[in-house]
Structures are given as structure tokens and as C-alpha cells.
A and B are shown apart, each in its own frame.
Chain A
């Protein structure tokens, strides 16, 4: 019998892995991918609640989250390409011109 807690724990674990990825990796592309992992974990939470509460609003907001995530990935990767053209590497430690 799979309860809501099973799905919530799974999505919390996925979210934690995404946070670890954003904090630990220095490659900009992998940071963007960990961000997508966090968004997927949140989508899983919404769908789990939609099913266990019997209301479809959870699924609708997942559609909007997917739209926003796709737009964000497009713009984020365009920024990554621009940074690579300027600096020759996408190590985020080297994007530090404005650092005090």
C-alpha cells in the first residue's frame, strides 16, 4: 500500500540531491541540470498531492511549472553559451569579475 508519505519522501530525497548538485558542482551546465532535478521533485510532490486529495489543480500547476522550467532552461543555456564565448570556460568560480 503506497501512501502519500512514500511519494513525499522520494521527492524530498530528489530535492536534496538537486540542492547538493547546485552547491557542489562547478560546471554551469550541471548546476542547471540540478536545478531541473529540484523542479522535477516539486512536480512529483504536486502530482502526489493531486492524486491523494482528488483534485486536479495539482496537475495544472505542474503544467505551468514545466513551462517556466523550459523557458528558464532556454535562457540559462543561452547565458552559458555567452559566458563560454567570453571566458573560454564554464566553471562558475571564474565568473567573478563583480566579486568584491
Chain B
């Protein structure tokens, strides 16, 4: 059952990611990206990370992709065709490097059993403890300082985005 679900979700995610990269209109890219996010959230649920799956759906598919859609509609983009530029050969080098990295990663991970772990996931008590409580147990005790620092990061991002996207008031030098 888990194998069948993994292959279905994996196929959906990979096909949608392929469409994100290779389709021409930005709206199509955004919509297939949303499907990719939902597929990845399904894979998270399969990996016993229900809280993270819901956060992924709310934050990524619900906020980040909607922000992309708003910006695309705000800019009112025309369909951009792939321009022929002279640096195409250099980009193919990058693609070859990326595929080579994929092959290398696949061959390294062939015989790889993970050892170690701290037992903090509490999979054996999965019936009684929810994933939210397991995550919160570590997040608010051991990792409290990074958690508070992310709030400062978000504040900086908010201020930066508001200032960058503000219309210039159009003050030209007069007189």
C-alpha cells in the first residue's frame, strides 16, 4: 500500500515539476507548481510528518504560490518565447553537470543503511502522540533560539519587501 502510494505521488510530483520547468506560460508554471507542492505534501504524510505536510500546504501552496500568481497577474506578462542567445552552450554544460550529479548521488546511495538517530521522532508511540506534539516538544525547548530568530528574519523580509515594491513618489528635481 505504501509502495503504491509512493509511486503514484512520486509520479505526480515529478511530472508536475517537469511541467513547471518546461512550459512556456508563467501561469501554467505556477499551477503545476501548486500540484507539485500538493504531491510533496502527500509524500510528507507518507513519511509520518503530518504537521509539516499541513504547514507545507498552508504556507507553500497557500501563500507563496498565491503570491506568485498575484505578481504574474500584476505584471501582466506576455508569453515569453525562449530567446536564442549565444550562451546556450554554457547552459548545456550546467545541465550535464546537474544530470551527472544526479547519477553520482544515485550511485552513492545504492548501498546505504542509515544508522544512528536520537529516537526523538517517537514512531513507536505514534498512536498516542501526534506529530504536532513531537515537533513542538523539540522546537520549543532545544531549538527555541532559532525559532525566535526566524521572527526577526521575517520582520526584516517584510520591511524589505514593502520598501522594494513601493511606488516611487516621483519627486523630480524641480527649480
Q: Which residues of A contact B (CB under 8 A)?
A: 1-2, 4-10, 12-21, 23-27, 29-30, 32-34, 36-37, 40, 43-44, 47-57, 59-60, 62-64, 66-75, 77-82, 84-85, 90-91, 93
Contact = CB atoms under 8 A, between A and B. Distances in A.
Interface string B110-148: 101010111111110000000100110111000100100
A74 B134 CA distance: 30
Interface in B45-86: 46-49, 51-52, 55-56, 59-60, 63-64, 67-68, 71-72, 74-75, 77, 80, 82-83, 85
Contacts of A36: 33, 60, 64
* Closest CB pairs A-B (n = 10): A71-B157, A53-B117, A78-B164, A21-B21, A78-B165, A54-B117, A78-B161, A19-B98, A23-B94, A55-B118
Given A43-B52, A78-B161, 9 more contacts: A4-B114, A5-B109, A12-B106, A21-B21, A23-B91, A33-B20, A54-B117, A55-B117, A55-B119
A14 B13 contact: yes
Q: Is the interface of A mostly helix, strand, loop or mixed?
A: helix
B52 A8 contact: no
A77 B33 CA distance: 16
B153 interface: yes
A70 B64 CA distance: 6
Interface string B92-111: 00110011011001100110
Contact of A2 (B6, B56, B121, B146): B6
B95 to A, nearest CB: 6
19 contacts: A2-B2, A2-B3, A4-B109, A5-B109, A7-B47, A9-B106, A10-B13, A20-B98, A30-B20, A30-B26, A36-B33, A53-B121, A57-B138, A60-B138, A66-B55, A67-B154, A68-B153, A73-B67, A91-B80
B150 interface: yes
Contact of A33 (B48, B68, B160): B68
B117 A93 contact: no
A55 B33 CA distance: 29
A48 B47 contact: yes
